Amino acid sequence: MSENELPERKETPLSKKILFASPRLGSSLVLGVEGFALFTLYYVAYGLNPILVGFAQAMGYLSIAAAQFLLGWVSDAKYTKWGRRKPFLIVFAPLLGITFIFLLLPGLVLPDLNNKSLLFQWLLIWDIIFRASYAITTPYQAWLAELFPINERPVVSQAQNTFNFIGNGIMALTTLIVFTNVFDKLQTDINTIPSEFLIIVILFGGIAILLFSLICFVLPTEPHFPIDTDLIGNLKIILKNKNYNLVVLMQGISGFGWSIISTVMLTYTEVVLGLSTMEYLIVAVCLLLGIFIFLYIWRKSIEKRGKKPTLLTIFIVAVIFLPITLLGLVSSISPLILGIFFILGIAAILGGWYLFPYIMYADLADDDSKTTGALKAGIYVGYPSIILNIFQAIGVFLLGLITSLPAITVGTNTFSLGLVVWGPICSVILLISYFYTKKYVTLDFAWER
């Protein structure tokens, strides 16, 4: 194959599309718990200062920024008998699962969790290592552009997001129904690990290891074709790609909002709404159903209207919806009704947004290949993590500051004022993202038609 030729990709059987997408179940379980419940676990259950929790998670975002970029570039560099991507999946899959277990279960090693200084160090170290291990998703996602032609990517992305949200649904059900009781038990006896918590954490970590390892042994290795792995040269090419960098910056700006939303949504339902176990079950089922419905709606919108019009609609829906968190200041509203509306809105906006990154960077890599003749999928997927995770790091650190605002009492609940004002703050952030995207970003290309 000559340097300017890309590998020919034939129609892929649906079974292989589904199999390729399946590791997103494991990754969504572990990252979902880390993003959805870790702040609540260390802040509410373990009693760690929210600013320290936010700082530790911010450092985790910075570690993944470096790791995703490096793994993208390095996985481009050498073609082995296992291809470019599989060796990294084999190495990092066990690390991802093991670090997740240590991160969630400090009581396995630490003798006294009342020692907040030691607990903070544990959280900081293991969140950094866990997030770096999550960079396994960079060579995995780069594989998408090499295995599937552009017309198949929306279907593969929908399958990935279906697994994502099956995982997030399982995670949400588990967190809302099981972990909330675990948090109560830990507040009573911080140094005893509830058995259900131990089993679930180990199970989730094991699923992540299994699924990433499975595709390495079942899916075929991508064909060999040359990639220019000169890091400086490739960076220069990327930095000259104006639209690519505008898309990266768009994801970074909106990442301020998305990181806050995904991190604090459980804390909002746990602390502000104070739902009962049965109410949590109802809300979790609404989240699960909402996710599947909106995944289908947004995917059909992409196919009918295009990527950019759909993304702009998602931003507007989020801008209008997110101030609903202020209703937590009204004690006369039923917590269950508010919880259902809140979680359905979250399902709508996150279900739409998470559909995009997989598609965007595979398409941008393909767009670059039209002029350069080389499909540098690894670096195209890895480079945005630098900008994105820096913005997300600032976002979760900002959340730590917001949730350290003075406490207020609404009805029988007492909570930080920050736990209700984060919604309007995110609304403003995503409104800025809307106008920026509308004016500067191209997501639909003439060659797609």
345 compared with 444, residue with greater pLDDT:
345
**pLDDT tens, residue by residue, 79-121:** 777 877 888 888 889 999 999 999 999 999 998 999 999 999 9
277 pLDDT band, cuts 50/70/90, is confident
338 compared with 278, residue with greater pLDDT:
338
The amino acid at 279: E
Question: Region 256-273: what's the mean pLDDT?
Answer: 84
Length of the chain: 449
pTM for the whole thing? 0.69
Burial of 145 (0-12, 13-18, 19+ CB in 10 A): buried
Structure-token match 């996150």, residue found: 350
Question: Region 276-283: what's the mean pLDDT?
Answer: 79
Report the pLDDT value the prediction gives residue 340, as an integer from 0 to 100. Answer: 92
Does residue 3 surpass a pLDDT of 50? no
Is residue 14 left, alpha or beta, with left meaning phi > 0 and alpha meaning psi from -120 to 50? alpha
Q: Give, in order, the Cα–Cα distances in Å from 22 to each of 82, 117, 140.
A: 20, 39, 11
Q: Give, in order, the Cα–Cα distances in Å from 352 to each of 162, 205, 213, 288, 292.
A: 12, 26, 28, 14, 11
DSSP one-letter code for 411: T
- Determine what percent of the chain is predicted with pLDDT higher than 90: 27
Q: Would you tell me how many other CB atoms lie within 10 Å of the CB of residue 191?
A: 12
Tell me the DSSP string of 162-190. Answer: HHHHHHHHHHHHIIIIIIHHHHHHHHH-T
How many Å apart are CA 86 and CA 88, to the nearest integer? Answer: 5
Q: Would you tell me how many other CB atoms lie within 10 Å of the CB of residue 155?
A: 17
- Which helix (DSSP H) or strand (DSSP E) does residue 359 occupy? helix 356-372
Does residue 376 surpass a pLDDT of 60? no
User: Virtual CA dihedral for 93, 98, 104, 110, nearest 10 degrees?
Assistant: -160
234 pLDDT band, cuts 50/70/90, is low
Does residue 165 surpass a pLDDT of 80? no
User: Virtual CA dihedral for 140, 146, 150, 155, nearest 10 degrees?
Assistant: -40
200 pLDDT band, cuts 50/70/90, is very high
Question: Region 312-337: what's the mean pLDDT?
Answer: 93
Report the pLDDT value the prediction gives residue 105, as an integer from 0 to 100. Answer: 93
Residue ranges of domains in the chain, CATH in brackets: 14-218+227-448 (1.20.1250.20)
Question: Region 310-322: what's the mean pLDDT?
Answer: 96
Does residue 1 surpass a pLDDT of 60? no
